[in-house]
């Protein structure tokens, strides 16, 4: 039977990645907040001056966007699906009784405790 996903995580393998995911989402959220704050400052400056923008604030914005991109790429390049960046909600493709499902985890969770079918999503979560 052909599977939709090339990579399937064992529960232990997914659990081993949780510290890395916590760090990645912390970096992403910090960079996002820095980006939003810098955007607000730049918008206010542009409104006042109507002129060129540049310098440290634009460089800060660029660094924040790069940090966000790198954090997201670190997660997705491993075959993990990001479902909600703000919540740190991810799905790990997994085989359960020969069927593809997702192991479901979000940043506030201590451990991976749930799974759901590919089509049911978060509302269809069941305990492992």
Range of the domain at 55: 11-127
70 lies in some domain: yes
Specify which residues 81 forms β-bridges with.
Answer: 91
In a domain, residue 65? The reply is yes
Distance between start and end Cα atoms, the chain? 24
Would you say residue 25 lies in a domain?
yes
pTM: 0.87
Q: Which residues are 93's β-sheet partners?
A: 102
What is the reported pLDDT for 42? 78
Q: Is residue 2 part of a domain?
A: no
> How many structural domains does the chain have?
1
Residues of the chain with pLDDT under 70: 1, 46-54
Q: Which of the 8 DSSP states describes residue 120?
A: T
Helix (H, G, I), strand (E, B) or coil at 36: helix
Phi, psi (degrees; rounded to nearest 5) at 8: -125, 125
Residues 6 or more apart whose CB falls under 8 angstroms from that of 117 comprise: 99, 101, 102, 124
pLDDT attached to residue 1: 67
């Amino acid at each position: 039977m052909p599977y939709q996903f090339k990579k399937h995580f064992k529960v232990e393998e997914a659990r081993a990645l949780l510290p890395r995911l916590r760090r990645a989402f912390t970096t992403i959220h910090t960079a996002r907040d820095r980006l939003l704050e810098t955007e607000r400052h730049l918008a206010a400056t542009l409104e006042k001056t109507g002129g060129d923008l540049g310098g440290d604030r634009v460089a800060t914005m660029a660094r924040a966007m790069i940090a966000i991109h790198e954090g997201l790429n670190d997660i997705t390049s491993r075959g993990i699906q990001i479902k909600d960046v703000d919540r740190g909600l991810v799905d790990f493709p997994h085989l359960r009784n020969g069927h593809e499902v997702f192991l479901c985890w979000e940043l506030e969770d201590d451990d991976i405790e749930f799974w759901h079918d590919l089509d049911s999503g978060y509302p269809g979560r069941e305990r492992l």
